[in-house]
Amino acid sequence: MNVDKIRKDFPILQKKLKGKPVVYFDNSCMTLRPKHVIDAMDDYYYHYPACALRSLHKLSKKATEEVEKARIIVQKFVGAKKTKEIVFTKNTSEALNLVANSFGLKKGDTVLTTDKEHNSNLIPWQVMARNFGIKRKIVKSDKNNEFSIENYEKNMNKNVKLVSVVHTSNLDGVTNPIKDITKIAHDFGAKVLVDAAQSVPHKEVNVKKLGVDLLAFSAHKMLGPSGMGALYGKEEILENLSQFLVGGETVSDSTYESHVVENLPEKFEAGLQNYAGIIGFGAACKYLKKVGRNAVSKHEYRLNKRLTEKLEHVDGFSLIGPKDSKKRGGILSFNIAGKDHHEIAMLSDSLNNVMVRSGAHCVHSWFNSQNLKGSVRASFYLYNTEKEVDLFSDTIKNISRL
């Protein structure tokens, strides 16, 4: 993987802020966008800025053609069998909410999650429990903050209708054994929904090989536009889900008293869609496929290993997650004793333009359970370099001495 060549594709990396280059280590929140994605979206706005699927004129036909091309690209990117198994959403959060409100859970049904879920895979189930009386079970991690199969099996029973789990944690980068989780769930007759926002951008994810029933991910975490995501679902499962958002394009006919539900995937895609975003999503998938996600994963590990080895000797340094950086993928979440995590992030930015995330990373529940207020999180991607890692390491060492 030629990182120097890749970096030339990202306009923001060619700029300087206050005389210094941009060092972007906030990729778990949102990645930067290459020119290929920006150009694909601009092409829509400049040359065929019309509704897709609705009209019969030339511009609409072109928009429809490009949207469907993008759907095919996204379908193949995650290994789905059919294009109708890909539903476009605003983001992972909307996709998870769609399932929560459409799955048909009843009072007494159990949904099982982990203790490291993003709020997007926690709050919908809390609301469902409050409004509809479903039950929730949480699988506790082991002492290394990794998924515990033993604890998982203890919590499984015939009342569990849905296992909704994160694939790769945005807290510490740990990847859960989804294939094993899915097999056990299916043995009990439960379905599996996966929050793959942090896995699809960084490693090969094939829904058929994993055996999952439903999987949600976002474009903005994988070089694509904001306000775009997707829900994968097995055809038979999507067919049985009730509609969540309804209106234009979700029906094929209506009277004053009734309506006819549209076929998949339009059944779930209410209203005028973000056509430029869908097209940009497809362009992002093409870009990543060309680079190769296995190459991306290996590159992130090298950077994480290098930074971990440099920071672990800093006074007061404490790591969140396993010590083995290979188990943390492209994420390094940490604290420095006596230093506020927000202060560290702001100083890193002001001193050397090294941009990281600080706070609870939308995993407030885990931090509260550990009596922690938050952490500093550095997260890497395909355009980051060892030179940037060294700069950040030196920056943290200087901050720790203040």
Helical residues (DSSP H) of 78-211, grouped into ranges: 92-102, 123-132, 149-155, 178-187, 207-210
DSSP states of 362-386: T-HHHHHHTT---EEEEE--TT--H
Distance CA 294, CA 298 (A): 6
Residue 51 annotated to the active site? no
Write down the catalytic residue from 29, 51, 285, 362: 362
Determine contact, residues 116/366, Cβ cutoff 8 Å: yes
Backbone φ, ψ for residue 123 (5° rounding): -65, -40
Helical residues (DSSP H) of 241-340, grouped into ranges: 275-291, 293-311
Determine contact, residues 235/57, Cβ cutoff 8 Å: no
CA 73 to chain centre: 18
Determine contact, residues 138/148, Cβ cutoff 8 Å: no
| Residues noted as catalytic | 362
